[in-house]
Structure 1
Amino acid sequence: MAYPTPVNGQITDTVSQSTLMSVGTAGSVARSVITQGFAAAMAASGQNSTAQQEATQILADAAMTAALARMETGGGDD
């Protein structure tokens, strides 16, 4: 128990323990927040990369379709 105070010693013990708990866990909480932020950034990066590859493939497919259509109609030498 805490030293004699005007309030109940159990109350001051609880406040002291809560403060120590907050100070003691601050480092691990900060590291976990940073880790979660990094993980979210990496996930977004992966999703953006996939979306870019899909868009590039759509453009390549469109170009191939246009080239094949032009070849079927005789090459377009007007």
Structure 2
Amino acid sequence: MPDTVSPMITDAVTQSNVKVVAEAPAMAMGSLYQTMAHSTGILFENNVAASQQQNTLAQAAANQGVMQIYSMDTMAAAGATEKIAQTGTTDQLQTLLTILEAFRPGR
């Protein structure tokens, strides 16, 4: 068996190795561009999902506001609610009058 390898075989192996080394940067950049495109797509998908959630929250808030508006029967009920909220006014006036009388001259 001869110890020498055919020059055609060594030339073919050398060219294959050079081809692989030469294509490596292009393959790496292609992979990088593919990854960036995928990441950008996910970014936009997340943005759309966040927008949809914000719209849902806005609709829910508007719905709650309308429900509160419609829960008030009449303006009379609103006036009655305001009067009920001021129940402690006479007690406060009586306390103020008592304090003022305490400081009246001639006592």
- The TM-score with structure 1 as length reference comes to 0.80
Query: Which of the numbers 1, 23, 26 marks the counterpart of 1:25?
Result: 23
Query: Which of the numbers 64, 67, 70 marks the counterpart of 1:69?
Result: 67
- Once the two structures are superposed, the pairs formed by residues 27-66 of structure 1 within 5 Å of their partners are 27-66=25-64
Instruction: For 1:12, give the aligned amino acid.
Output: T
Instruction: For 2:29, give the aligned amino acid.
Output: R
Aligned-pair CA distance for 1:13: 2.0
- The TM-score with structure 2 as length reference comes to 0.61
Output the CA distance in 2 between the equivalents of 1:63 and 1:9. 80
Instruction: For 1:61, give the aligned amino acid.
Output: Q
Task: Name the SS for the 1:6 alignment partner.
Answer: coil
Instruction: For 2:51, give the aligned amino acid.
Output: Q
Task: Name the SS for the 2:5 alignment partner.
Answer: coil
Aligned-pair CA distance for 1:11: 2.2
How many residue pairs match? The answer is 73
**Tell me, which stretches of 5 or more residues in structure 1 are unaligned?**
none
State which structure, 1 or 2, has the greater radius of gyration over its C-alpha atoms: 2
**Tell me, which stretches of 5 or more residues in structure 2 are unaligned?**
82-107
Q: What percent of counterpart residues are identical? A: 25
Greater relative CO, 1 or 2 (CA 8 Å, sep 6+)? 1
Query: Which of the numbers 1, 6, 9 marks the counterpart of 2:7?
Result: 9
Output the CA distance in 1 between the equivalents of 2:30 and 2:8. 32
Output the CA distance in 2 between the equivalents of 1:9 and 1:50. 61
Poorly superposed stretches of 4+, deviation over 3 Å: none
